[in-house]
Amino acid sequence: MFLFVSGIKVLCAFLSFFEGDCPKDWCVTGAIFNYTNQLMSASENSKSIVHYNLTEAIMFLSHYMGDIHQPLHEGFIGDLGGNKIKVHWYNHETNFHRVWDDMIIESALETYYNSSLPRMIQALQSKLKNGWSNDVPSWESCQLNQTACPNPYASESIDLACKYAYGNATAGTTLGDYYFVSRLPAVEKRLAQGGIRLAATLNRIYSTKSKLARV
């Protein structure tokens, strides 16, 4: 399926096996495998010398696990993930990528959580225990018992980008209450999924015979 965004044709699918989407693993899914493997190399054989900076590996793994859940981080090369689409967020001039990276979250913090990040986190944790609790096992699981499985996360993000993010958002639009209220649930769910999947991936890494656990 293709979608036209401000005259640019984008493909609504993540094709990790094709050069275009992930040339030589240079994309967010490749990076997640990369840093997972680095952490695994330390935990699999406790006698081997660790060649990587594991502090950086865990920082990058966390960073990219967040990115891959942000719909506009997935591969829309044509418009640079929405960076080229200028829009207004209420009366603030910005671009479409920043709306999804920052603006929706910042507006939610101000509108619902008195600008308190701990309160927003608490609200997400409570949704994880209640509304989303039945979904959590499927969010955590990895096909074929892999340690990391980022490809489906990327597909989900592209799907969301095509279904929700780009709908009604063409260059020059002003996005306000309608867009905010209708998209916030998707943003909150992606934040929760990203957190759960990072935790599950780290648990799989550290539950192999680990010297990391003792450091």
Ligand X SMILES: *[C@@H]1O[C@H](CO)[C@@H](O)[C@H](O)[C@H]1NC(C)=O
Site of interaction with ligand X (CB under 6 A) = 25-26, 30-31, 34, 52-53, 55-56, 114, 144-145, 167-168, 178
Q: Which residue's CB comes closest to ligand X?
A: 167
- Which is closer to ligand X, CB of 139 or CB of 164? 164
Q: How far is the CB of 114 from ligand X (least distance, A)?
A: 4
CA 95 from centre of chain: 18
Nearer to ligand X, 92 or 163 (CB): 163
Taking the C-alpha atoms of residue 78 and residue 97, their distance in angstroms, rounded to an integer, is: 13
User: Between 31 and 192, whose beta carbon lies closer to ligand X?
Assistant: 31
| Rounded Cα gap, residues 85 and 75, in angstroms | 15
Nearer to ligand X, 102 or 110 (CB): 110
For Cα atoms 44, 66, 141, give the angle at the middle one, nearest 5 degrees: 55
CB of 169 to ligand X, least distance (A): 9
CB of 141 to ligand X, least distance (A): 10
Kindly state the smallest distance separating residue 51's Cβ from ligand X, in Å.
8
Number of Cβ within 10 Å of residue 49's Cβ equals 7
Write the CA distances from 79 to 13, 60, 154, 185, integer angstroms: 15, 25, 17, 24
